[in-house]
Copies of this chain bind each other. A is one copy, B any other.
Amino acid sequence: MASDHTRTSILAAAERLYADRGFGDVTLRDIVAEANVNLAAVNYHFGSKDELIAELFVTRSIATNRERLRELKAAEEEGGGRAPIEVILHALVGPTLRGCLGPENQRSTAARFMIRASIESVPPIRRIKNREIDHLRKFAGAMRRALPDRSDVDIYWGLNFALAMAHHTIRESERLTKLSEGKCDLDDVEDVVARVVSVATMALTAPRTEAKAPARALARDAR
C-alpha cells in the first residue's frame, strides 16, 4: 500500500458525485471516470459498491457527530454542566446548515453528502443509521438538563422539529428561494440558523396549555 492514491481518489469522487446528484443517479462507472481510475479498482479496494457507500457514510457520520458533540460539550462545561437550550440547538443544527447552505464556494461536500444520506436512505446506509439514535439521545439528555420542567415527550418533539426545519430547509432551499422570489436569503446562513434555533426554542419553552389547546380543539372539529 505504497500510496492510497487510488483509494482516496475513489472516495473523494464518490462523495462529490453522490452529494451533487444523489445515490440513484450515480453509477460505479461515473465514479471511476471522475476519479480517473479503473472500474475494477472499486471492487478491489472496497469489495463492493455498498461497502464503498458504507465506508463513506461511517467516516462522515463520525466526523459530523464529533463536531456537534464538541460544540455541545464546550457549552455545557462553560455553563457548569448545563447549557442554555439555544446553544444546544445551535450545536445540533448549526454544523449541517453551515455545510449545506451559503454561497456555492463555501459549501462542504461532506455535509451535502450527509444530507443526501439522510434523505435517500439507500440500504447500506439504513443498516448503519440506527447507531445515530444514540447520538441524538445525547442531545436529548442535554436538552432535558436545560429544561428540567419539560416532559420527555416535549423534548423529543422539540428535537424532531429542530432537525425537521434544518433538513427541510436544506432540501427545499431552491424552492423556498423561488417561492419567496428571492426574499428569503438562503445565502445568509447565520440568519437561517438563527431562525431555526429561535423557532425550536419557542417550541420547547412556550407554555403548553396556552398555545396548544386551541389548535387541539380545532383539530377535533375538523375530524
Contacts and interface: CB of A to CB of B under 8 A. Distances in A.
Interface string A194-215: 1111110111001000011011
A28 interface: no
Contacts of A175: 133
Contacts of A172: 160, 163-164
A195 B201 CA distance: 14
Interface in A174-223: 175-176, 178-180, 183-184, 190-191, 193-199, 201-203, 206, 211-212, 214-216, 218-220, 222-223
A185 to B, nearest CB: 8
A208 to B, nearest CB: 9
Nearest to A191: B216
A219 to B, nearest CB: 4
Interface in A148-172: 152-153, 156-157, 159-161, 163-165, 167-169, 172
A168 B163 contact: yes
Contacts of A165: 160-161, 164-165, 168
Contacts of A194: 212, 215-216, 218-219
Interface stretch (A11-19, A35-43, A50-58, A86-94): A86-94
Contacts of A156: 176, 179-180, 183-184
